[in-house]
Amino acid sequence: MFSKNKTLGEFIIENQTEFQYSTGELSKLINALRLAAKVVNHEVNKAGLVDILGAAGDTNIQGENQQKLDVLANEKFIQTLKNREIVCGIASEEEDDFISINSQDKNHQNKYVVLIDPLDGSSNIDVNVSVGTIFSIYHRVTPVGTPVTLEDFLQPGKNQVAAGYIIYGTSTMLVYTTGHGVNGFTLNPAIGTFYLSHPNMQFPETGKIYSVNEGNYIHFPQGVKDYIKYCQKEEGDRPYTSRYIGSLVSDFHRNMIKGGIYMYPKSSKAQKGKLRLLYECNPMAFLAEQADGKASDGYQRIMEIQPTELHERVPFFCGSKRMVEKAEEFMKS
């Protein structure tokens, strides 16, 4: 079926003129991400066969155990972007600090910075459950020709030029937006080509799925507890179904297709929640809004938040518009 469809490569070329700063640089960047996605997909797929499962023995800046595949995915994405000399800076969930990229001939001439969560849901790797990669792209704010600074990375999500994810699932997909809707491409592994399989993806306005780690229930704010009880109540189209994979990319992807809400609220254990504003929440918020959904911290739009640090965390409510609005109502009362 897909063979009749457009490939990602063709789609990028056709849509190049839609980009805000159309010099082909963003197209090249998305092409590089496409390549890195294929490489990481290859590694993820053979994870059980070679010695890349399990912990790497290190912890990242956020004190989390790094899995071997976390480290590997991080290296592959950074190497691919560095080698192609198409970005001026990279920030990654797995790196303490941002990386400034320069090359002799280009002298800091590149315009874009990329922020990545190289492997999302990594605690699922060892048990063969879907994981993903999340990316977020901004135009630098400091002048071209100078090294990037922290300021280039600490931009509110509404400044994003593009964002997307790769889901290494039953099939591997690359889903992204450049601010003109959301399109999903499925990898045909036999020939290593992504085909446009899900054009113009949209969240149903409302849905019947809620996704939250209910094990944390007693630690949640009262508003979240009340909203969860609302989801479980027998009334109208409720009770809803509970589905939680523990891999944001996978939970988001399912909810976008079927309709639903994903929540990672703050708790008495984690005052700012768990998810990272720059590597996880902003890119997912951009995709959600471009797909007719909504993303909030419970009170305000995620993409309005001015970040103050690279690895900042934020409570996250994201999905079908009406469901996120309902959750916000409960948070307010």
Question: Which residues are near Mn ion by CB under 5 A?
Answer: 93, 117, 119-120
The Cα–Cα gap between 174 and 287 comes to: 12
Both structure tokens of 261: 């809400």
Question: Residues, the chain, total?
Answer: 333
The Cα–Cα gap between 223 and 108 comes to: 47
Burial category of 88 from C-beta neighbours within 10 Å (exposed 0-12, middle 13-18, buried 19 and up): buried
Three-class SS of residue 321? helix
Residues of this chain, 74-113, that bind ligand AHG according to CB under 6 A: 93
Contact letters for ligand AHG, residues 116-135 (x by CB under 6 A): -x--xxx-------------
Stretch that binds ligand AHG, among 139-147, 178-186, 221-229, 243-251 (CB under 6 A): 243-251
Residues of this chain, 146-205, that bind ligand AHG according to CB under 6 A: none
The Cα–Cα gap between 81 and 136 comes to: 13
Which is nearer to ligand AHG, 137 or 284 (by Cβ)? 284
Q: How far is the CB of 216 from ligand AHG (least distance, A)?
A: 7
Cβ–Cβ < 8 Å for 229, 206: no
Residue 44 found at the interface with ligand AHG (CB under 6 A)? no
Q: How far is the CB of 77 from Mn ion (least distance, A)?
A: 11
Q: How far is the CB of 13 from ligand AHG (least distance, A)?
A: 32
Three-class SS of residue 89? strand
Which is nearer to ligand AHG, 121 or 184 (by Cβ)? 121
Q: How far is the CB of 141 from ligand AHG (least distance, A)?
A: 26
> CB-based contacts of 202: which residues, under 8 Å, 6+ apart?
182, 256, 291, 292, 293
Which is nearer to ligand AHG, 48 or 246 (by Cβ)? 246
Binding site for ligand AHG (CB under 6 A): 64, 93, 117, 120-122, 213, 246-248, 274
